[in-house]
Amino acid sequence: METVRIGILGMGTVASGLAHIMALNQDIIQYRTGKILEIEKVLVKNLNKNRDVDLDRTRFTINVLEIIDNQNVDIVVELIGGIHPAFEYVRDALKNKKHVVTANKALIATHGEELENIALENGVRLMYEASVGGGIPIINTMINNLPANDFTEISGIVNGTTNYILTQMTERNLEFDQAIKEAQEMGFAEADPSSDVEGDDAAFKIAILSYIAFGQRIGLNEVPKEGIAHISREDIKYADELGYVIKLIASSQKRENEIELRVHPTFISKKHPLATVKNEFNAVLLKGNAVGEVMLYGKGAGAMPTGSAVLGDIIAIAKEKFGENKQPIHPSSTKYKIVNKGYSQYYIRMDVVDKPGVLGYISNIFGKNNISLASVVQRYKHDLVAPLVFITHEVERKNIDDALQEVRTYSNVLKIASIITVEKSII
């Protein structure tokens, strides 16, 4: 039986999961691929660290050339994370005609185009299923199972950390700071959670998914993003009363010659399938013109789920070892304009002075800006302060910003506390 030799860059969370699954499911994998998969070498920073993997010490190295320049290595698996030196290692491995599998969303979202071109020039594969949605097979589903479709929309919950925090805030009435502390203690948030909480991680992922779905590269500066740090218990309480939950949604839609994508906290109807996606779970919704709507749900992170996705890519390469290499993404012939109109319903919460005429005055400003209101709620009055909550009908974000600029100048408005998108671009 032929042996496929793998060099792994890194032996942290995901790489350990990968090594465990390779050992656990060895027989099944051999049966399914007709090949033996073997770990040839592993690059680490610290050779003395104790590692929970069943690998001989001689397999470890601190010299990357022993992997990317090693005649015995067929597939390089990049699991060190970050952009440098991961970019240089992957680039050089591809140039040395090694297939590469990575879970690195930051790398693929920023350098995917260049690396894919190098892979094509060298007749090798670059695969990155685990870069989006951890164990959820979203990229390969689009490429291999739904290639008959023209995709029009892709959206979902692609960051487990923020979903865990928002779930805990909703179900246990926690403030953001408490929820994040707990998430760190449980291992669902990193010591520096800013990339998750500020929406960068989700922005990397929706940029990658948009490319797979629509065939056009998206620059990260073209993805408007808003994180969850400003979401308060009060917003969550109003959402609940109005029949919603708040989720961090990454969405991308194609319309004629435009693509609109963003990452933002969103009011999701409790009846919507995404509302049931809780804690560290992820879900992605796709819309194809033939298949209709498809939702994939599963664990968005963790050693075994992410290792499963990485190993799926390795097996795909091993099975075709090493057949015709074609660019799997069909580049779009239309050059889509990336727009940021924010056409949606909005939830707006503000504190106003509790006296007659104030609501009428504000409603009038909304009317002048072509904003019609779906509902107005006024509860929990304290002292002379009245919180006002508006849900608008669909309108462009610019109208909301123009109206609120005028509302802010009205002396009876004490504070505009929140503006949150209400589900619309979700299927």
The set of catalytic residues is 205
- Residue 410: CB atoms within 10 A of its CB come to 13
Q: Which of residues 289-328 bind ligand NAP (CB under 6 A)?
A: 301-302, 306
Ramachandran region, residue 45 (left: φ > 0; alpha: ψ -120 to 50; beta: rest): alpha
Among 7, 8, 10, 136, binds ligand NAP (CB under 6 A): 10
Is residue 168 part of the contact set for ligand NAP (CB under 6 A)?
Answer: no
Say which amino acid occupies 83: I
Is 13 one of the binding residues for ligand NAP (CB under 6 A)? yes
Looking at the Cβ atoms of 188 and 267, the one nearer to ligand NAP is 188
Which of these, 67, 109, 113, lies nearest to 92 by C-alpha position?
67
Whether 274 contacts 249, CB under 8 Å: yes
Residue 235 backbone dihedrals phi, psi, to 5 degrees: -60, -40
- Exactly one of 69, 81, 232, 374 binds ligand NAP (CB under 6 A); which one? 81
Does 127 sit near ligand NAP (CB under 6 A)? no
The single residue among 44, 218, 249, 386 that binds ligand NAP, judged by CB under 6 A, is 44
Q: In what order do the strands lie in the sheet with 60-61?
A: 60-61, 35-43, 2-9, 75-78, 99-102, 126-127
Residue number of the CB closest to ligand NAP reads 12
Closest separation in Å from C-beta 93 to ligand NAP: 14
Piece of 77-85, 169-177, 221-229, 277-285 that binds ligand NAP (CB under 6 A): 77-85
How many residues in the shown chain lie near ligand NAP by CB under 6 A? 23
Q: Is 75 in the site for ligand NAP (CB under 6 A)?
A: no
**Is residue 104 close enough to count as binding ligand NAP by CB under 6 A?**
yes
When asked if residue 48 is in the footprint of ligand NAP (CB under 6 A), the reply is: no
Distance of closest approach, residue 302 Cβ to ligand NAP, in angstroms? 5
Paired tokens of 4: 């496929």
Structure tokens at 84: 């440098």
Of 100-108, 288-296, 366-374, 391-399, the segment contacting ligand NAP by CB under 6 A is 100-108
Angle at 423 between CA 342 and CA 231, to 5 degrees: 85
Q: For helices 358-368 and 397-408, give the axis angle rounded to 10 degrees.
A: 140
Least distance between ligand NAP and beta carbon 46 (Å): 4
State yes or no: residue 45 binds ligand NAP (CB under 6 A): yes
Tell how strand 292-299 and strand 75-78 pair up: unpaired
The answer to whether the beta carbons of residues 330 and 324 sit under 8 Å apart is: no
Question: What does the alpha-carbon distance between residue 287 and residue 226 come to, in Å, rounded to a whole number?
Answer: 24
Report the residue number, 204 or 267, with the smaller CB distance to ligand NAP. Answer: 204
Question: Using CB atoms within 10 A of its CB, is residue 5 exposed (0-12), middle (13-18) or buried (19+)?
Answer: middle
Other beta carbons within 10 angstroms of residue 174's beta carbon come to 18
Q: Which is nearer to ligand NAP, 8 or 350 (CB)?
A: 8
Q: Which of 6, 22, 68, 79 binds ligand NAP (CB under 6 A)?
A: 79
Contact call for residue 50 and ligand NAP (CB under 6 A): no
Q: Which residues bind ligand NAP (CB under 6 A)?
A: 10-15, 43-46, 49, 79-81, 85, 103-105, 130, 134, 301-302, 306
